[in-house]
Amino acid sequence: MTSNLAVDVRGLRKSYGDLTVLDGVDLAVEAGTVTALLGPNGAGKTTAVGVLSTLLKADAGTVRVAGHDVVAQPEAVRASIGVTGQMSAVDDLLTGVENLRLMASLHHLGRHDGRERADALLAQFGLTDAARKPVSTWSGGMRRKLDLAMTLVGAPAVVFLDEPTTGLDPRSRRTLWDEVRALVAAGTTILLTTQYLEEADQLADRVAVLDGGRIVAEGTPAELKSTHDAGSLDDVFLRLTEPTPEPSADPTTKEVAR
């Protein structure tokens, strides 16, 4: 692996029976940057994160994370990463501080160090005032921030965020964006999967567009905008393949720009 790459993926393939989910994916993520893996539902984004985090086994290809091979050195990979999945991993029956202290125990931090780490993360994410209330009473945005805070308990060098802002209101989404920017400024490497064009445009140093299990475009947001003559990444084309119910609509396939 090139020394400045935190994630190095070459020829990654993954199938489920006759369904090919990842079809020869190459991906390079430089240390201390944000790379967005952008694509629609079913593109293979979550499967890619599963392989990179050692939760799934690839059918072919090589994957190295933080300098470690995911097949030969899975424990070293797990010790170097944090993962925030699409579904929140917090325990609703516990308070915020209890969730974080539980995670600290799982990371084998001592009692004193675990309490300090939990308090520091609560302050970092602006959750101190609600820390001793059951998480079941928290808003969706607060729960998502706690989920990310739990991912950071072990101070991972590489963080995988799998569609972390799905379902959040615009204010909560932008708050989480600020946290991502702060993490990168502190030296953390982030691989972000997202369906949101604006999110990739706002956060990513580089964007890889995944569609049908393949990387179909890659570059900086500026490069991709330039290539497609677009003012922003959300200038896209939608293909309508089904007739619309309006009597005046043309039932043939159309392309419209948004």
How far apart are alpha carbons 189 and 32 in whole angstroms? 4
Class of domain 5-257: alpha beta
Residues 28-54: what's their mean pLDDT? 95
How high is the pLDDT of residue 74? Answer: 96
Residue 48: C-alpha distances to residues 45, 51, 66, 215 (Å): 5, 5, 16, 12
pLDDT per residue over 215-230, tens digit each? 999 999 999 888 765 4
How high is the pLDDT of residue 60? Answer: 97
* Helical pair 96-106 and 111-124, crossing angle rounded to 10 deg: 130
Range in 67-71, 109-113, 222-226 with the lowest mean pLDDT: 222-226
How high is the pLDDT of residue 256? Answer: 38
How high is the pLDDT of residue 85? Answer: 86
Q: Give strand ranges (E) for 87-243.
A: 158-162, 189-194, 206-211, 214-219, 237-240
Range in 84-88, 105-109, 124-128 with the lowest mean pLDDT: 84-88
User: For the chain, what are the domain ranges?
Assistant: 5-257
How high is the pLDDT of residue 172? Answer: 86
Residue 244: band (very low, low, confident or very high) from pLDDT cuts 50, 70, 90: low
Mean pLDDT of the chain: 88
pTM of the model: 0.82
Residues 135-157: what's their mean pLDDT? 92
